[in-house]
Amino acid sequence: MEKKLINLGIFGFGCVGQGLYEVLNKTRGINARIKKICIKDPDKPRPIDQSYFTTDKEDILSDPSIDVVVELINDTAAAFDIVATALRNGKAVVSASKRMIAENLGTLYTLQQQYHVPFLYEGACCASIPIIRNLEEYYDNDLLNAVEGICNGSTNYILTKIFEEQLDFDTALRQAQEKGFAETDPTLDIEGFDPKFKICILLLHAFGTFVQPDEVFNFGISHLNDFDINYARQRSGTIKLIAKCRRQNGHVVTYVLPHLITGHHLLSDVSNEYNGILVESSFSENQFFVGKGAGGTATGSAVLSDISALTYNYHYEYKKIAQRNSLALTNDIQLKIYLRYKKTGQVDLADFYTISEKYESPDNHYVVGMINLEKLKNAAWLQNKGVNLLVLE
């Protein structure tokens, strides 16, 4: 495939699809062209010639001249059907659909092995940061201890505007939506689902462990209020939504939670729509990756990188799986958290292992203490909108 022209069949032409079109037409290093783009709405105005478009998926999936299928749609079930069909048809596939990939990783891995075709998805995790490729190639034989960081550009943009410009939550969210960093329905971002899908994918490449997203605890930033923000400021800190997977006593711990971090923390300076990933290993110790984590061209550049890699017959080797030392998931760890609530009795303080600080006022109460992650994951009181938590570093 190295010298021949690569014909691309693309599904979806939204923010990322248009970003890919833009970066592909600005680069001179890849001998690839878009042959056909499958879209849902034929009447929607498009910024490029209508001859590119079709509404029939078979115009791509059944076309023998199309070498690479690029899947960039929002419908999870339809995306999986497209990717699975393309792999069964012997076509290389590139995708940026983190939810679809996270929910079907086991099946997608099996399809790659069965049909001997590559499936690349760097754009599904942290946009412009090449974290999957680094885990696969640079850390393939390293004993990793942790992969953690800011994996969602939308929430990081919102939190940056709150702390640096004193915007209220709703205004910061609206700005993120206007810039294309957050969807019209921002639930997956602000509730922490989007970074959870990404950390499930990174977990496989870091530790060789398959998990379903519903096994991983996520709690976002939608419960955040002014009291929490002032609590962080009074301690010279800021709040970041952090996704973690960490080796712990022969197991691996994975979660997505808001953290209160101070200025010495590397992630404290990651602002706006940028992402930051920390990799901790036994051999090479600590590395820090920073890059744009939201936006069409940022994700489009990652998709383009995967397309380029396919011209050299690249595929994921999933070396951590091959090494047969995968770690089982556990939630049996203690976290130090700040827990804010409205009134006495609203939360069960008996769930805490220890409490080191307690505060009460007419409007807000809080405690600081140690709690088991499994206990926190199953706490019904945490679903109350008047309750919020921050992990304390």
With beta carbons less than 8 A apart as the criterion, state whether 117 and 316 touch.
no
Structure tokens at 17: 């699809």
Handedness of CA 24, 300, 306, 70 (dihedral sign): negative
Question: 3-state class of 265 per DSSP?
Answer: coil
Retrieve residue 285's tokens.
Answer: 């110790």
358 is catalytic: no
Amino acid at 23: V
**Which amino acid is it at 85?**
T
Distance between CA 274 and CA 134 in Å, rounded? 18
Q: How far apart are CA 32 and CA 311, in angstroms?
A: 9
Q: Is 150 left (phi over 0), alpha (psi -120 to 50) or beta?
A: beta
**For residue 329, which of 258, 247, 391, 259 has the smallest C-alpha distance?**
247
Query: What is the Cα–Cα distance from 380 to 391, expressed in whole angstroms?
Result: 18
Burial of residue 132 (number of CB atoms within 10 Å: 0-12, 13-18, 19+): buried
Euclidean distance between CA atoms 373 and 370, whole angstroms: 9
What gap in Å lies between CA 60 and CA 8, rounded to an integer? 9
- Residue 22 corresponds to which tokens in the numbers above? 């833009």
Q: How far apart are CA 101 and CA 106, in angstroms?
A: 9
Task: Select from 310, 319, 321 the least CA-distant residue to 119.
Answer: 310
**Signed CA dihedral, 301, 303, 307, 312: sign only:** positive
The two three-digit tokens of residue 119, written as one number: 């499936």
Which member of 36, 198, 292, 320 is catalytic?
A: 198
Backbone angles phi, psi at 361, to 5 degrees: -145, 170
Active site residues: 198
